[in-house]
Amino acid sequence: MKKFIHIDMDCFYAAVEMRDNPALREVPLAIGGKSRRGVISTSNYIARQYGVRSAMSNYKALQLCPHLVLVPGRMSVYKEASNQIREIFHQYTDLIEPLSLDEAYLDVTDAAHCSGSATLMAQEIRQKIYEKTGLTASAGVAPIKFIAKIASDENKPNGQCIITPDKVSNFLNELPLGKIPGVGKVTLERLAALQLKLGKDVLDKGEDWMVRTLSNFGYELYQKCAGNHIGKVHTERVRKSLSVEHTYEFDLNSEQECLDKFPGLLDELQRRLEKQNLASNISKLSVKVKFSDFVSTTADQTANSLCNQVYAELLKKAYTRGGYKGVRLLGVGVGIKLEKNDEAQLSFEC
8 is in an annotated binding site: yes
Q: Are 139 and 4 in contact (CB under 8 A)?
A: no
- H or E stretch at 62: helix 58-64
CATH for 168-225, among 3.40.228.10, 3.30.479.30, 1.20.910.10, 1.10.150.20? 1.10.150.20
Domain ranges (residues) in the chain:
1-163, 168-225, 241-341
Residue in 17, 26, 80, 103 annotated catalytic: 103
300 is in an annotated binding site: no
Q: What are phi and psi of 42, to 5 degrees?
A: -165, 165
Q: Are 78 and 65 in contact (CB under 8 A)?
A: no
Distance from first CA to last CA of the chain, Å, rounded? 17
Q: Per DSSP, what are the bridge partners of residue 241?
A: 335
Tell how far CA 101 is from the center of its chain: 11
pLDDT tens-place values along the chain, 350 residues long:
999 999 999 999 999 999 999 999 999 999 987 666 678 989 999 999 999 998 888 889 999 999 999 999 899 999 999 999 999 999 999 999 998 899 999 999 999 999 999 999 999 999 999 999 999 999 999 999 999 999 999 999 999 999 999 999 999 999 999 999 888 888 999 999 999 999 999 999 999 999 999 999 999 999 999 999 999 998 876 668 889 988 888 899 999 999 999 999 999 899 888 877 888 889 999 999 999 888 889 999 999 889 999 999 999 999 999 888 899 999 999 998 865 444 333 333 33
Fold of the CATH domain 1-163? Alpha-Beta Plaits (3.30.70)
Q: Is 220 a catalytic residue?
A: no
Read off the pTM.
0.74
**Three-state DSSP class for residue 34:** coil
- According to DSSP, residue 49 is labeled T
99 burial type by CB count under 10 A (0-12 exposed, 13-18 middle, 19+ buried) = middle
- String of b and e for 270-299 (b: at least 16 CB within 10 Å)? eeebeeeebeebbebbbbbbbbeeeeeebb
**Distances, alpha carbon 89 to alpha carbons 62, 83, 98, 129, 186, in Å:** 37, 10, 10, 9, 35
Q: How is domain 241-341 classified at the architecture level of CATH?
A: 2-Layer Sandwich (3.30)
